[in-house]
Amino acid sequence: MKLWHSILFTTLVLGGACAHAAVWQPGHGLKQERIWPGTPPNAQPAPATESTSLEAQALVAGKPWTAIHNVTQPTFTVYPPKGRNTGAAVVVFPGGGFEILAIDLEGSEVCDWLTARGITCVLLKYRVPGTPYDWHCNCRPHNFAIPTPALQDAQRTIRLVRQHAGEWRVDPHKIGVLGFSAGGYLVASISTNYDRRVYAPIDATDNLSARPDFAVAIYPGHLAAPYGFNRNVPVTKNTPPTFLAMAEDDHVDGVEQALAYYVALQKAGVPTEMHLYAQGGHAFGLRPTTLPITQWQQLVETWLGTIGVLSR
């Protein structure tokens, strides 16, 4: 996650970003909904109020991107499918080193792609209180017993999608997750900790399953380190089918992150598809460039057909 730290330092200290603006809004007549009816579990204070900034110092495909800072009240936004509804739904986890959320680059732009394919998209604005990521994402092995706010938000959101499946015309057996970088770690975390009780039940929603039916992790982090595979990600044969994509020249998280997760999934007998590219770096989202890796979403669409989520 050092890239995100570098970007934040550059933009905030050297002036590469615009002044922080008001709380992010999804636009398009869409509305954010709170995940928790009251104070979220494990609520932590933030150093400042939630705000957004336009990150213009580190352009992606020649364009700036929007960051959300200091999220303490998580929300989800439902993007309904355009045209034919496939019945599938995907909860999207933007990345940002568990310090910020790249809400358009790895969030709303992803929802535009998914909804154009007839998939309901649920964009999760999970908690990133602005403190160092290893304090509150609990990615380190010694933190396994401590519930992570991001995982709590992810579990609750998947349960909410299942609760509203009829209303949103979603097949409750075709609910997946997709995330980038830190959000890719959250994909692995919810895929392997869906049945772990990380917060006290609040209402009937919490009786529903939080298991994703499929998972997509793009340049994930926090899965491999000098101490070995992250034991906060207890892969079993019940981990959902998974798609992985990463660049071999990713010098932020390193290709070993995807490789370590792939090996763990294979050992457990989990259907897995992985694509590695020579070039691409980190944090490219799905903005098209001349590099083949930026066409990964076409491979995801094909894969979703092979596992029966979309029609082949």
Percent of the chain predicted with pLDDT > 70: 87
CA dist 71 to 47, 103, 121, 132, 289, Å? Answer: 10, 12, 20, 13, 31
Taking the C-alpha atoms of residue 290 and residue 293, their distance in angstroms, rounded to an integer, is: 9
Token representation of residue 212: 């994703």
Q: What pLDDT sits at residue 58?
A: 82
Give the Cα separation of 151 and 187 in Å (integer): 9
Strongest mean pLDDT among 135-144, 149-158, 220-229? 149-158
pTM as predicted: 0.91
Taking the C-alpha atoms of residue 69 and residue 253, their distance in angstroms, rounded to an integer, is 21
What would the mean pLDDT of 151-163 be, rounded to a whole number?
A: 97
Split at pLDDT 50, 70, 90, the class of 147 is: low
Alpha carbon distance 7, 97 (integer Å): 11
d(CA 48, CA 130): 8
Q: For residue 89, what pLDDT is reported?
A: 98
pLDDT at 213 over 70: yes
In the CATH scheme, what architecture does the domain 2-306 have? Answer: 3-Layer(aba) Sandwich (3.40)
Q: Given a cut of 60, is residue 132 above it in pLDDT?
A: no
> 261-273 pLDDT, tens per residue?
999 999 999 999 9
Which position has the token pair 């034919």? Answer: 84
Q: Where are the domains of the chain?
A: 2-306
Cα gap 248→245, rounded to integer Å: 10
State the chain's mean pLDDT as an integer: 89
Q: Point out which residues pair with 17 in neighbouring strands.
A: 55
Phi then psi dihedrals of residue 287, to 5 deg: -70, 125
pLDDT tens digits, one per residue of 52-83: 999 988 899 989 999 999 999 999 999 999 98
Lowest mean pLDDT among 49-63, 94-108, 270-284: 49-63
